[in-house]
Chain A
Amino acid sequence: AIRMTQSPSSLSASTGDRVTITCRASQGISSYLAWYQQKPGKAPKLLIYAASTLQSGVPSRFSGSGSGTDFTLTISCLQSEDFATYYCQQYYSYPPPWTFGQGTKVEIK
C-alpha cells in the first residue's frame, strides 16, 4: 500500500501566521491527493481535492499544491477556527486501499 507521511506531526502557531504542512507519498500519485480538517469530536471536512482544487465553501486562505510524491497545504493567514488536525489522503491506488497521512495537529502558540 502507498504510505503517506505528513510533516510536521504537530505545530504551534499564532493567529495571522502562514502555516505550511507537507505530505509525501511513498510512490507517485499524480494529483490524486485530498486534504481534510478535523476538529475534536467532529467528522473530517474536505478542504482540497485533486491536490489543488478548493472544495466549495472552503475559505480561500487554504490552498494546496504539488503532484507526484510531494504535496503542500498552506493556510495563508491562520484564524482561530483553523486550529485542528489536518490529514492528507491519496486516492490514486486502484484497487484501493486509499491511505491517509498520520495527521498534523495545529495548536495555538
Chain B
Amino acid sequence: EVQLVESGGVVVQPGGSLRLSCAASGFTFDDYAMHWVRQAPGKGLEWVSLISWDGGSTYYADSVKGRFTISRDNSKNSLYLQMNSLRAEDTALYYCAKGVREMATITAFDIWGQGTMVTVSS
C-alpha cells in the first residue's frame, strides 16, 4: 500500500525550531518529487515547499523562504522539513504529498499523509 506518515508536530514557542518527518512506503520514493502543504485551523490549503526526486532542486513559498528547509534521504525513504524562527502564523496541520508522475517536478499531488500538527504559541 502506498503510504505517507508524518511525524514531529508539537507545540513550540515563537522563535523556536522544529523538524518534521515524512516516512514513505509502497512506492519507489526516489523516483518522485515530494511536497509539504499546510492548512491552518479552519482555513484552506497552502503549498509550502517542493523537493525534486533527486534532492537537487528545492523551492519554497515566500511565507517560509529563509526559515524552512526541505530535504530528503532516499536511502531511508524519508522527507523532512526543518522549520526555524517559527511564528504564530505557522500554526497549521502539515501534510507531505507525493507527485503524480515519476521523474517529474511539475505534477499534481496524488498521495497525501494524514498530517502532523504544529502549534506555535507561548
Q: Is B27 an interface residue (CB 8 A)?
A: no
Q: How large is the interface on B (under 10, 10 to 19, 20 to 34, 35 or more residues)?
A: 20 to 34
Chain A: CB-nearest residue to B98: A46
Among candidates B50, B59, B100, B113, residue contacting A43 with C-beta atoms closer than 8 Å: B113
The A contact surface, by secondary structure, is: loop
Instruction: Tally inter-chain residue pairs, CB-CB below 8 A.
Output: 59
A16 contacts partner chain B, Cβ-Cβ < 8 Å: no
Measured CA separation A99–B46 after assembly (Å): 7
Between-chain CB contacts (< 8 Å), 27 pairs: A34-B109, A36-B109, A43-B113, A43-B115, A44-B37, A44-B45, A44-B109, A44-B112, A45-B112, A46-B100, A46-B108, A46-B109, A49-B100, A49-B108, A55-B110, A89-B47, A91-B106, A91-B108, A92-B106, A94-B106, A96-B47, A96-B59, A96-B61, A99-B47, A100-B44, A100-B45, A102-B44
- Nearest 10 A-B pairs (CB), nearest first? A34-B108, A49-B108, A43-B112, A100-B45, A96-B59, A98-B47, A46-B110, A103-B44, A97-B61, A95-B59
17 additional A-B pairs beyond A50-B108, A100-B47, beta carbons within 8 Å, are A36-B45, A43-B95, A43-B114, A43-B115, A44-B112, A46-B100, A46-B109, A89-B108, A94-B105, A94-B106, A96-B50, A96-B61, A97-B47, A98-B47, A100-B44, A102-B44, A103-B45
Q: Which residues of B contact A (CB under 8 A)?
A: 37, 44-47, 50, 59, 61-62, 95, 100, 105-110, 112-115
